Structure 1
């Protein structure tokens, strides 16, 4: 019992000594306004909430997303060319391409593809 108590006291003293050394040696950090403020996508959250945003960047991003979805739809259709009935496949491809062409025409007609107006 006495040996166990001595062992526990030694461990507690070592832990206390290590903690004191860490507190003395450790680098004190100065509270910095930039480090303590949240950072959201390069915008300062404490400034004006309504920053001017270019609609051209938004439209290009939307068109890029539409292009990605088109690719996701077209690639599996290419892989299934030999496994399905050919007329069904051709009708599906023609209708898909027609929808894509109508979307492109709509973007072009409304000036979404022009960078400057």
Structure 2
């Protein structure tokens, strides 16, 4: 109970201190909406390039594949040799896919 109160007090203190001690300079550019690389004050019905969708999908794919590597790193020394080779093949395929996307220019904006 004492540790819960100490943690609650510390979190509250840090939250209040960060609010009062932070430096903020709000300008029109900083508070304006930014989305997809377009001027936020133009027409909302503008067509934009498909590359934004492709980059988002590639990010999700590689992000989810990287998440599969965390359990492997936690259990590295407890796995059998066959599980190690399966993960190694998975990592090689992931690396080949990343290098293909990098060389094809899909990640260039």
TM-score (norm 2): 0.50
Please say which structure displays the higher CA radius of gyration.
1
